[in-house]
Structure 1
Amino acid sequence: MAEIAAPEQAIFPTEGTAVEAIGWSARVLPADEAGLKAYEAFCEGACWAPPQSPLWAKAWLYDADENGVIALLFRDGAPAMALALEVVRKGFVRVARFAGGSHANGNFPALHPSAGPERGDPSAVRSLLQGVRAARPDIDMLALERQMESLGNHPNPLLTLPHTQSPNLALAADLTGGFDRLLSRSSKDRRRKKYRSQLRKFEAAGGYRRFEASSAAEVDNLLDLFFRFKGERLKRMGVADTFASPHVRESFRRLFRAALDTQPSPFALHALEVGGKIRAITGSSRSGDRIICEFGAFAEDELTKVAPGDFLSYQNIAEACAEGVALYDFGVGDEPYKRAWCDIEIRHADVFVGLTRRGRALAMTSFAKTAAKRMVKQNPTLARIARRARQVLGRG
């Protein structure tokens, strides 16, 4: 990875609040046009998880201004680490979190390995926190949730901060060795038999095609359908629709439209069309030799029993294997259809740091709530009761 060696002032705007420490300097900017350009420049040569990529930051922090924060950390003037955060209200408390909120999973900061802070060195992250506190004294707490412990060979420097295990684990499939090897670990003959049966039924229904959105019009159409499929299913389950807000929907539109101009595309929409109708949709991101399925949904119609969502996953994973991808990550959430493919459990970490008195109280509460959620989710009986209660309350 190329290192940016020029002094920070030559690349990044001088506006914003800077905090100096021995070897470290932090610059904190609003997420306006200049701040987002600074973040994009900072990320040249860095590694990051998809939810901290420049494309994601621009999509989610568009028009955020003071409701967004770009925090840049330098080591002896060279870019070291950066965060793109959104600021939200929780009652009387302001919280800064990864841009995208609950839609940002498997998080990892933008990091320059050649200059980035070591995991065991808290002084770097402390300088970054001091910069945020000085620039934005109105922010009470940082809630940096669902973080990966490492990215490639690089440990996550943010985990020098107080953290705990996230309530939800993520599931992934090891693709090394190819598709046949993957199938052999999960009832190869039964899965191929099911796939052939699906093929016959889809051909009888008018034929099928799998395709990737390649224009803004296709992006909009697939997202419109996804939001409808997902919303209808969640409503029937009595679960709140996290994709319902206009901000979330527009952010995903900006993201997948912008990704069309980048090759290979870091974010992609795939669809399964059967008999001239879209029956299943997935949205994915790519990070190095890893593909992450960010979301998926399917139409509930006469072909639902044929499992179009499972068929689309089969083809997505087969394509990933053909491309030499090492890991197919189904993201956060433990579901039977994921278990059918996956042999890897990924534990994420949640960081809660209070920056004010109110923030410290909220951080303590957040740690307690996270521990309670984790206990419930790890106990099948409690998880079943909680799921049923959520459905009853949702219908009410």
Structure 2
Amino acid sequence: MVDSNAARETYAPLVEVFPADDIGLSAYDRFCQDARFAPPQHPLWIRAWVEASGSDAVIIMLRKGGAPVFALALEVVREGPFAIAQFPSAEHANGNFPAVVPDAGLVEEADIKAICSAVQASRPDIDLISLQRQNPNHGNLENPLRKLAAMRSPNVSLAVDLRDGLEAALKRNGGRRKKKKFRHNQRKFDEIGGYRVIKASSPEEVDRLLDAFFMMKAARFAERGIPNVFAPLEVQTFFRRLYSSSLVYGDRPFEVKGIEINGELVAVHGMSINEHSVVCDFGGIVEMGANLSPGFFFDYLCIEEACNAGKSLYDFSVGDEPYKRSWCDVETWQFDTLLPLTAKGRAAWAISTARGHAVRLIKSNAVLWSVLKQLRTKVAGTRSTPHDQ
């Protein structure tokens, strides 16, 4: 006769919470070998961020039937009086999807209760678990936290469907005009010394490409009156570690690449690569004028390469820009999960929810959003110029 109480205990969720030190990161790495996850939850990404930032990070691992099925690597940050556990690297982590074994299924209410109880017992200082900018799917796998969506994220993520190849993707998105523009740029680049695509293959090349990108981005943000999220030293150190460590990691899940025109870097992209897609995490360009578009030209080459590699999606990541719209035919609305753990956490939940609704309202109103961007640019003391892609 089967003891029903024993059976329930066997399959009851068991949650472990441990620091993201060498032991914890190694355990997370082992779990991820049989799990699926978004690039910002890749063990390389987590380790690079923890080492670069020295952040207070934890690993949460859910077990069912004695086996680990779900894991979250989170960092604990302070926002005013609140301690918030979030995906590591803040706004640099987009399209999030927790590490999960493919047949784990959705996280249930009992699982969440177990997770919250374990975090409260291990880290009573944490007020809120805030999991932002999550993708509803990773390939054909549904996000296990989808049922717990607190609200839709304010920003859309845009991508190009490559399942039918480059010609089909171009046909859906102004292919004749794009080919003409590509050939025009190619001819002009050849006339001024030619172009060369560089994929970083050494730490020195990683540094060179990132040095150029950080300068490009600093100039662009200053022009538009936007705070430079790439300026902090820990962020720059993080990306240097990430791309350098990926050089010796088998399939190279992260890659930084650039394009040179007559020996000068004019565009740099940071890429995440998984089994089904290529994600352009960031990009920087140098304005060239004279009807030259290094950003468009480089995007074309990167999309073509993704097609040749058999990827089904080229993802421009979060953010709605005209140059992305000119390519993209796939919209993904990400979602946020907010889990308050304390009375202060409930207050933080209310503030975060109100802020999210306000940002979403502003960005959904094209006129209001355009006015705010113009005001932001005027405050920076410059006139806004359109992206040349």
Q: Same fold (TM over 0.5)?
A: yes
RMSD: 1.8
Counterpart secondary structure, 1:346: strand
What amino acid is aligned across from residue 261 of structure 1 in structure 2?
V
| Distance apart, 1:180 and its partner CA | 1.0
Equivalent residue pairs, number: 374
SS, match of residue 56 in structure 1: helix
Note the alpha carbon deviations across 1:292-329, whole angstroms, 9 max, x for none: 100000123x4574111111100000111111110001
Partner of residue 371, structure 1? 357
Aligned residue number for residue 383 of structure 1: 369
Partner of 1:103 in structure 2? 92
The answer to whether the 8 Å contact 1:231/1:241 transfers is: yes
Q: Give the distance between the partners of 1:47 and 1:283, measured in 2 at CA.
A: 21
Q: Summarize deviations over 1:340-387 as a string: whole Å, max 9, x none.
A: 110011010011221111111110111111111111111101111221
What is the letter of the counterpart of residue 241 of structure 2? R
Q: Secondary structure at the match of 1:157?
A: coil
Q: Is the contact made by 1:202 and 1:208 (CA closer than 8 Å) also made in structure 2?
A: yes
Q: Please give the secondary structure, in 2, of the residue aligned with 1:62.
A: helix
- 1:355 equivalent in alignment to 2:338: no
Q: Is the 8 A contact 1:272 1:281 kept in 2?
A: yes
* Partner residue, 1:341: 327
The DSSP-based 3-state class of the residue aligned with 1:169 is: strand
How far off its partner does 1:211 sit? 2.0
Distance 1:346 1:68 in 2: 28
1:182 aligned onto 2:169: yes
Tell me which residue corresponds to 2:248: 261
1:46 paired with 2:32, answer no
Q: In 1, Cα distance between the equivalents of 2:63 and 2:345?
A: 26
The whole-number CA distance in structure 2 between the counterparts of 1:30 and 1:390 is 40
2:268 matched to 1:281?
yes
Corresponding position: 1:55 with 2:41? no
Matches for 1:10-21 after TM superposition, within 5 Å = none
Identical residues among aligned pairs (%): 42
Change in CA separation of 1:275 and 1:81 when aligned onto 2, cut-off 3 Å: same
Number of the residue aligned with 1:140? 127
AA aligned to 1:118 is: L
Rounded Cα–Cα distance in structure 2 between residues aligned with 1:113 and 1:177: 26
- 1:11 maps to which residue? none
CA distance in 1, matches of 2:230, 2:305: 27
Matches within 5 A, 1:1-396: 23-62=12-51, 67-114=56-103, 116-119=104-107, 121-300=108-287, 302=288, 305-395=291-381
**8 Å contact kept, 1:125–1:157:** no
- Please give the alpha-carbon distance, in whole angstroms, between the structure 1 residues aligned to 2:363 and 2:381: 22
Query: Conserved in 2, the CA contact under 8 Å of 1:60 and 1:251?
Result: yes
Shift of 1:22: 5.4
- Paired with 1:153 and 1:203, the residues of 2 have a C-alpha distance of 42
CA 1:249–1:217 in 2, change beyond 3 Å: closer, same or farther? same
Extract unaligned runs of 5+ from structure 2: 1-8, 383-389
Shift of 1:136: 0.7
Q: Partner of 1:176: helix, strand, or coil? A: coil
